[in-house]
């Protein structure tokens, strides 16, 4: 790389100085999340209302098609699943509207998250950090840093996420043997793919931590170019302690989100079948709060890992 | 070339011919046995005709054994060619002579781009493209009758070979034909061919077509079809003794049972015997991994041999389960499977085009990397095995009457799958998502507009229409019939058909007549609509109206006269209606002199008072509609807010009386309003194209809507939570 990197104070020059370690950072990160209930609440409400907004066309369709139909109850209880197929098959225009609305919401939400990332990371940073902002300053910092954050997001999309996806696909192909994909049973297919999927999710999480490290670099020094922040992020990730901490939170993130997914399924199946709507909604929102808390924990720990060690 | 016919008419058999026949038959080891399982023709078999039970679990012959073959075949695994020779013994069991013989050369369907098969199928079948340079063909090198070569006189037209005879074959005559041929297998496509070492040797020999006369005997001829794009094969039953010569490492699966094996010079010769079958297929591959199992029914055990791919032994039991379920279901619906064994072939991925096919005592399954919850392996195996009855024994013609074969068997598949999977999710069970075979058939059938009646010859249909109409629509048609007749009558009717036409050649009309006989009811009202027309089935509830019965107002004569009740008031409601109107009228006339009085509408206060005193009766209307043209007896169920219920059948007779009147209006006068109305709530009419409209609520019920909406919302929200990572 011909471009010279500025000498960043936040990058420890001696790995042995990197104290505290991953567990301590995780602990501090957890405290930061606990200390930021309004941030957690805000992010949860953001996903809740974006989700509601995105699915309003679906609600309208369901109301129009099912509200006066006795079969709806059997469909809702999971006793007549082919009814869902009839509904989707016979309402293609409504289905297209539903899909479009969800796509737009997902893209919008993704962009919004990129925009507010600077504010959220600043808020989750240690109070001793120069980049720290109190709750009231979050939005201001988000707006201030939005351009840089979006550029970083795009760079990561092209330089890291896309190659990672291709790499994942290639490894998956290697694991099962492309030419043999049709000759395997589901059991052997899943047993070969499971380690690849777990590895891919870990790498994806580590890549997200790398992105956050780069964001933090950029927040600390607004003179840095996107590319420089990107490289400083990876340099920081290369530090043994940081890498250990990143792997730790990545593992925690993958296990946590996987666990929440299965927990959610386990808890809501019975409630849905009995049409206990409020209870199912409460459970699902509780899980959403936990997912957001987990994401914040990863970010907060990353902030701790990025702090200069003394 | 000299054209000399050598045949053996039973009424005047030349000694030499008869001797030759007997020698051949003795070589086949056949003798006459009459089975109670057999058909009338079988029992009437002439003395000396092949008969054996070597491959059967019951005494044979079961069929007339019209066309019997003794063949030798040598597979060249390098050139993928099969060189064959042997003898065909063919009987003319019809009432008239024939001056020609017609053979099916099915492999010629793959000969070039302009064959009937390729033109109709478009060089693809069921999504599998025909491989490049994958052509196949069958060359008949010799046809000898009485030792005299006839091949020069043969005329090959696409996949048919016609041979004019110098001497006709008379009724009851037997003719021996010595055949020599070379079959170049295509690269696996449309049920046949090779892929690396895997060889699907099917439709590999010149197969004599079916000679038959019309029912009145006026016209006779060969019912011989070109190999068409979407339909399969048709032939007569017979006995087969086939010796296949393959490299020693090859594992062979074939029709019938193996009776001999010899090894020499790195090759092996395996001899198979099959009786009362209408075809012979064999598969060879050194990579086959064998798994053996048994199934038990009332006749004893059936040996199941699975020739699977390496590394897929975990799926062996799924194959076995599919076959077992079908064996038991077949015994329940038709009659016991009479053969000793069945072989299940699993082709390699490149050979999937040979998968999902049926041959006598042998079926091909296919590779599925899908989760166990998608129960397609069991379904394919049960389906292909179901074909052992239709058309392998109940010998319908798929080109002419495809639904008698594929459609009835699709119905059978759903029954067999219900037997195997009692959770009601015979097709898909993944997480909480559940579909059964009737659901998947319904989704398939309703996806295609009904523009052609089921009775249409399949070659006149497009690929997609063929599949949906022949398979799925028939299955729903049969299921609707079962729901009308009841399970036991349906079973009796189908069994009656099966027993009457086993080892016979039924046509559509035969099926309909036999079903009516078996059910003890003329079902032509149903078959005429469902088979011979494009009538669509769809009933819905169009309207529910609830109105409170108002207190009297307007011009009234006091004292009140007894009320005149509308015709639609049922006896049960008459007393209630009379009581209420009388009370209302008397209340309105209270204190008024005799004569006409103009009464004002009741005030809100009066209405409230009346409501508190006695819940006012509701004048309710429910309108049920037949949106489609197909007429079927449907239940109408109306539920009221007080929990009471009204049921009525909208009968075929009532609907047929005024077929253009598509609506039925029901009026109710009760103390409770109508809460919901449903037509055919149990979905007995499986053909109904739209089911959500089968019911209507008087007031919207948002609970299920909210439940579904919030579940969907939570999926989206979860995705949003995760993309923020």
Token couple for B265: 């010079």
pLDDT digit string (tens) for A232-259? 999 999 998 899 999 999 999 999 999 9
> Omega of the bond prior to B209 within 30 degrees of 0, cis?
no
Token couple for B3: 């054209």
Q: How far is B347 from chain A (nearest CA, A)?
A: 10
Q: B255: Cβ–Cβ under 8 A, 6 or more apart, which residues? A: B240, B242, B272, B274, B277, B279, B280, B281, B282, B359, B360, B361, B362
Query: Which residue on chain A is closest to B699 by alpha carbon?
Result: A68
Residues of B in contact with A109 (CB under 8 A): 720, 723-724
Q: How far is A90 from chain B (nearest CA, A)?
A: 9
Q: How far is A240 from chain B (nearest CA, A)?
A: 23
What's the average model confidence in pLDDT over A202-208? 94
How do the domains of chain B map onto residue ranges?
67-284, 550-616, 619-706
What's the average model confidence in pLDDT over A137-157? 93
pLDDT digit string (tens) for B458-510? 878 877 788 899 999 999 999 999 999 999 999 999 999 999 999 999 999 99
Helix (H, G, I), strand (E, B) or coil at B150: coil
What's the average model confidence in pLDDT over B153-176? 94
Token couple for B395: 């010998």
pLDDT digit string (tens) for A93-129? 999 999 999 999 999 999 999 999 999 999 999 988 8
Let me know if residue A152 belongs to a domain.
yes
Please give the helix or strand (H or E) that residue A286 lies within, else none.
helix A277-306
Q: Which of B296, B314, B316 is nearest to B306 (CA)?
A: B316
pLDDT digit string (tens) for A52-85? 999 999 999 999 999 999 999 999 999 999 999 9
Q: Can you give the pLDDT at residue A23?
A: 87
Round to whole Å and give the CA distance between B503 and B546: 60
Residue matched to tokens 């013609």? B397
Q: For A161-175, A268-282, B220-234, B595-609, which range has the lowest pLDDT when averaged over its residues?
A: B595-609
- Using the predicted structure, report yes or no on whether residue B546 has a pLDDT greater than 60: yes
Q: Give the distance, in angstroms, between the CA of residue A25 and the centroid of all CA atoms in the same chain.
A: 20
Percent of chain B surpassing pLDDT 70: 89
Listed in order, strand segments (DSSP E) in B498-588 are 539-548, 554-558
Q: B307: Cβ–Cβ under 8 A, 6 or more apart, which residues? A: B251, B253, B283, B285, B288, B289, B290, B343, B344, B345, B346
Interface with A, mutate which of B710, B722, B723 (most A CBs under 10 A): B710
Query: Which residue on chain B is closest to A111 by alpha carbon?
Result: B724
Q: Does domain B67-284 have CATH number 2.60.40.1730?
A: yes
Let me know if residue A4 belongs to a domain.
no
* CB-based contact B662:B691 (threshold 8 Å): no
pLDDT digit string (tens) for B341-361? 999 999 998 888 899 999 999
The model's confidence at residue B588, banded by pLDDT at 50, 70 and 90, is confident
Q: For A156-160, B385-389, B429-433, B599-603, which range has the lowest pLDDT when averaged over its residues?
A: B599-603
Q: Helix axis angle, B702-723 relative to A240-273, nearest 10°? A: 170
Q: Which of A208, A266, A261, A279 is nearest to B706 (CA)?
A: A279
- Using the predicted structure, report yes or no on whether residue B25 has a pLDDT greater than 50: no
Q: Can you give the pLDDT at residue B41?
A: 45
Q: Which ipTM score applies to this complex?
A: 0.91
Let me know if residue A12 belongs to a domain.
no
Q: A95: Cβ–Cβ under 8 A, 6 or more apart, which residues? A: A61, A88
Helix (H, G, I), strand (E, B) or coil at B719: helix
Other beta carbons within 10 Å of A137: 14
Query: Which residue on chain B is closest to A106 by alpha carbon?
Result: B720
- What Rg do the C-alpha atoms of chain B give, in angstroms? 33
Token couple for B231: 């339909």
Number of domains in chain A: 1
Other beta carbons within 10 Å of B633: 17
Q: What's phi and psi for B122, nearest 5 deg?
A: 70, 40
Q: Can you give the pLDDT at residue B159?
A: 94
Query: Which residue on chain B is closest to A101 by alpha carbon?
Result: B716
* CB-based contact B177:B88 (threshold 8 Å): yes
Which one-letter DSSP state was computed for residue A157?
Answer: I
Q: Give the distance, in angstroms, between the CA of residue B213 and the centroid of all CA atoms in the same chain.
A: 27
- Using the predicted structure, report yes or no on whether residue B628 has a pLDDT greater than 50: yes
The model's confidence at residue B43, banded by pLDDT at 50, 70 and 90, is very low
Contact B712 A186 (CB under 8 A): no
Other beta carbons within 10 Å of B446: 25
Q: B319: Cβ–Cβ under 8 A, 6 or more apart, which residues? A: B291, B306, B308, B344, B346, B365, B377, B381
Q: Can you give the pLDDT at residue B338?
A: 97
Q: For A277-281, B112-116, B201-205, which range has the lowest pLDDT when averaged over its residues?
A: B112-116
Residue A174 or residue B204, greater confidence: B204
Token couple for B384: 């292909």
What's the average model confidence in pLDDT over B242-270? 97
Residue matched to tokens 């992105």? A211
Let me know if residue A7 belongs to a domain.
no
Domain that holds residue A222: 18-306
What's the average model confidence in pLDDT over B357-383? 94
* Residues of B (417-456) whose Cβ lies below 8 Å from A: 431-435, 439, 442-443, 446-447
pLDDT digit string (tens) for B291-338? 999 999 999 999 999 999 998 999 999 999 999 999 999 999 999 999
- Using the predicted structure, report yes or no on whether residue A270 has a pLDDT greater than 80: yes
pLDDT digit string (tens) for B635-682? 999 999 999 999 999 999 999 998 889 999 998 888 889 999 999 999
Q: Which of B242, B319, B333 is nearest to B288 (CA)?
A: B319
- Using the predicted structure, report yes or no on whether residue B42 has a pLDDT greater than 50: no
Q: Can you give the pLDDT at residue B18?
A: 37
């Amino acid at each position: 790389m011909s471009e010279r990197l500025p000498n960043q104070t936040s990058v420890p020059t001696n790995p042995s100085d990197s104290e505290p370690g991953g567990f301590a950072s995780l602990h501090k990160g957890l405290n930061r999340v606990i200390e930021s209930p309004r941030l957690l609440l805000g992010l949860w409400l953001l996903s809740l209302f974006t989700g509601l907004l995105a699915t309003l066309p679906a609600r309208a369709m369901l109301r129009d098609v099912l509200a006066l139909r006795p079969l709806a109850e059997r469909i809702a209880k999971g006793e007549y699943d082919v009814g869902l197929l009839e509904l989707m098959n016979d309402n293609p225009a409504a289905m297209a509207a539903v899909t479009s609305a969800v796509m737009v919401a997902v893209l919008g939400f993704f962009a919004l998250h990129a925009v507010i990332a600077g504010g959220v990371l600043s808020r989750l940073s240690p109070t001793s950090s120069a980049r720290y902002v109190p709750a009231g300053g979050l939005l201001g910092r988000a707006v201030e840093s939005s351009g840089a954050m979006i550029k970083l997001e795009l760079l990561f999309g092209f330089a890291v996420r896309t190659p990672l996806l291709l790499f994942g696909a290639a490894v998956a192909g290697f694991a099962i043997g492309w030419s043999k994909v049709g000759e395997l049973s589901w059991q052997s297919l899943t047993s070969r793919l499971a380690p690849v999927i777990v590895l891919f999710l870990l790498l994806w999480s580590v890549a997200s931590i790398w992105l956050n490290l780069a964001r933090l670099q950029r927040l600390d020094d607004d003179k840095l170019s996107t590319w420089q922040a990107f490289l400083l992020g990876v340099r920081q990730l290369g530090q043994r302690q940081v890498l250990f901490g990143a792997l730790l939170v990545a593992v925690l993130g993958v296990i946590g989100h996987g666990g929440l997914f299965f927990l959610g399924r386990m808890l809501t199946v019975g409630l849905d079948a009995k049409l206990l709507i409020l209870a199912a909604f409460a459970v699902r929102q509780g899980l959403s709060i936990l997912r957001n808390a987990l994401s914040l924990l990863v970010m907060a720990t990353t902030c701790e890992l990025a702090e200069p060690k003394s | 070339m000299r054209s000399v016919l050598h045949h053996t008419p039973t009424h005047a058999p030349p000694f030499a011919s008869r001797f030759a026949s007997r020698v051949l038959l003795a070589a086949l080891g056949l003798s006459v046995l009459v089975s109670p399982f057999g058909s009338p023709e079988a029992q009437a078999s002439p003395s000396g005709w092949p008969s054996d039970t070597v491959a059967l679990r019951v005494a044979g012959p079961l069929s007339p054994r019209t066309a019997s073959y003794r063949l030798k075949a040598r597979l060249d695994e390098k050139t993928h060619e099969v060189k064959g020779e042997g003898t065909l013994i063919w009987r003319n069991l019809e009432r008239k002579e024939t001056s020609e013989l017609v053979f099916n050369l099915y492999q010629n369907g793959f000969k070039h781009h302009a064959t009937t098969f390729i033109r109709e199928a478009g060089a693809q079948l069921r999504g599998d493209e025909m491989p490049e340079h994958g052509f196949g063909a069958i060359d008949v090198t010799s046809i000898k009758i009485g030792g005299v070569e006839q091949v020069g006189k043969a005329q090959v037209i696409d996949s048919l070979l016609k041979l004019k005879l110098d001497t006709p074959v008379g009724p009851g005559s037997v003719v021996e034909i010595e055949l020599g041929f070379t079959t170049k297998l295509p690269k696996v496509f449309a049920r046949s061919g090779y892929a690396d070492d895997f060889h699907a040797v099917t439709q590999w020999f010149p197969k004599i077509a079916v000679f038959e006369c019309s029912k009145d005997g006026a016209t006779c001829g060969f019912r011989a079809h070109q190999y068409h794009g979407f339909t399969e094969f048709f032939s007569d039953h017979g006995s087969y003794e086939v010796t296949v010569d393959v490299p020693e490492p090859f594992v062979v699966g074939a029709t019938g049972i193996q009776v001999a094996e010899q090894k020499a010079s790195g090759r092996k010769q395996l001899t198979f015997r099959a009786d009362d079958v209408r075809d012979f297929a064999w598969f060879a591959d050194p990579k086959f991994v064998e798994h053996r199992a048994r199934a038990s029914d009332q006749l004893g055990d059936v040996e199941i041999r699975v020739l699977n791919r390496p590394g897929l032994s975990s799926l062996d039991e799924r194959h076995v389960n599919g076959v077992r379920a079908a064996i038991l279901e077949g015994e329940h619906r038709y009659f016991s499977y009479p053969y000793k064994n069945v072989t299940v072939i699993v082709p390699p991925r490149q050979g999937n085009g040979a998968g999902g096919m049926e041959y006598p005592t042998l079926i091909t399954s296919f590779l599925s990397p899908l989760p166990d919850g998608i129960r397609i392996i069991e379904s394919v195996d049960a389906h292909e095995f179901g074909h052992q009855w239709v058309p392998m024994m109940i010998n319908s013609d798929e080109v002419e009457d495809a639904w008698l074969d594929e459609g009835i068997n699709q119905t059978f598949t759903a029954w067999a799958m219900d037997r195997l999977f009692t959770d009601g999710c015979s097709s898909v069970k993944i997480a909480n998502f559940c579909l059964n075979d009737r659901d998947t058939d319904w989704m398939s059938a309703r996806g295609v507009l009904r523009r052609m009646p089921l009775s249409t010859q399949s070659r006149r249909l497009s690929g997609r229409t063929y599949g949906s109409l022949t398979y799925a629509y028939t299955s729903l048609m049969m299921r609707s019939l079962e729901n009308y007749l009841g399970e036991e009558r349906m079973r009796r009717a189908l069994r009656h058909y099966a027993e009457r036409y086993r080892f016979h050649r039924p046509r559509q009309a035969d099926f309909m007549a036999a079903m009516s006989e078996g059910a003890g009811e003329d079902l032509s009202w149903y078959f005429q609509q469902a088979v011979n027309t494009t009538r669509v089935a769809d009933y819905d509830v169009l309207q529910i109206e609830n109105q409170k019965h108002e207190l009297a107002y307007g011009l009234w004569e006091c004292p009140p006269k007894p009320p005149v009740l509308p015709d639609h008031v049922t006896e049960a409601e008459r007393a209630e209606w009379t009581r209420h109107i009388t009370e209302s009228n008397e209340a309105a006339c209270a204190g008024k002199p005799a004569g006409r009085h103009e009464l004002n509408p009741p005030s809100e206060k009066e209405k409230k008072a009346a409501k508190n005193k006695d819940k006012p009766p509701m004048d309710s209307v429910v309108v049920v509609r037949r949106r489609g043209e197909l007429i079927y007896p449907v239940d109408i169920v109306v539920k009221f807010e007080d929990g009471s219920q009204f049921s009525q059948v909208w009968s075929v007779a009532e609907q047929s009386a005024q077929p253009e009147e598509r609506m039925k209006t029901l009026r109710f006068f009760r103390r409770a309003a109508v809460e919901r109305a449903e037509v055919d709530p149990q979905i007995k009419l499986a053909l109904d194209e739209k089911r959500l409209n089968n019911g209507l609520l008087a007031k919207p019920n948002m609970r299920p809507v909210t439940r579904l909406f919030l579940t969907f919302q939570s999926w989206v929200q979860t995705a949003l939570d995760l993309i923020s990572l």
